[in-house]
Amino acid sequence: MPRRFLQQAIVLAYLAVTGGALIFTMLKVEFPFPEWVTHWSYGMMAPYQGDTSWNAEFLYQGQRPDGTWEAIDIDHYLPYMFAEQNVRTYLRVYSRYGDLEHRKKFLEFALLLLDRERARGKDYVSVRIFFDQWERSPAGYSYLHTPVFTTRELVTQAQ
């Protein structure tokens, strides 16, 4: 009898802590547990922590000596699974230091990208990074990623 009670108490405690983490993630309402209790469960809620009502991606372009711009595919520089690639593409670890520091890291990335592309034989004189944002669509992720529905912001440019 005590063993069964202990097992059920452990399961109920686990469900309460996980439920508390889910409530905090979705509603930003503090659950009455200390952070050290919910920290691991909150980490499990990662897929829900950054959910937005819009889609976004970065666009990388290199400028040729004649002034034309061409897209740069950075996928071969980030050979990771989607979640890891997403974190690295957005440089999320630097966002907590403020917008200015976050943008400095994008400039550093653009300079590295310019060097790497030149080493691959591209004669770019400049690299720029844009942040594109558009509304979600039931038709698919990129369906509304068109000039009419997309807001484009220049993040940085490196020469």
In angstroms, the CA 60 to CA 157 distance is 10
Mean pLDDT of 121-133: 96
Query: What integer pLDDT is reported at residue 90 of this predicted model?
Result: 87
Average pLDDT over residues 87-106: 88
Average pLDDT over residues 99-107: 93
Q: Mean pLDDT check: name the lowest of 22-31, 56-65, 85-94, 105-114.
A: 22-31
Tokens matching residue 147: 């000039």
The yes-or-no verdict on residue 68 having pLDDT over 90 is: yes
Please give the residue that has the higher pLDDT: either 97 or 51: 97
The pLDDT, as a whole number, for residue 148 is 95
Mean pLDDT of the chain: 88
HEC per residue, the chain:
CHHHHHHHHHHHHHHHHHHHHHHHHHHCCCCCCCHHHHHHHHHHCHHHHCCCCEEEEEEEEEECCCCCEEECCCHHHCCCCHHHHHHHHCCHHHHHHCHHHHHHHHHHHHHHHHHHHHHCCCCCCEEEEEEEEEECCCCCCCCCCCCCCCEEEEEEEEC
pLDDT of 21: 81
What pLDDT score was predicted for residue 59?
95
* φ and ψ at residue 152, rounded to 5 degrees: -115, 130
Q: Which residues contact 43 (CB under 8 A, 6 or more apart)?
A: none
Condensed to tens digits (0 to 9), the pLDDT of residues 5-50 reads: 999 999 998 888 888 888 877 777 776 777 777 777 777 776 666 6
Flag whether pLDDT at 131 surpasses 90: yes
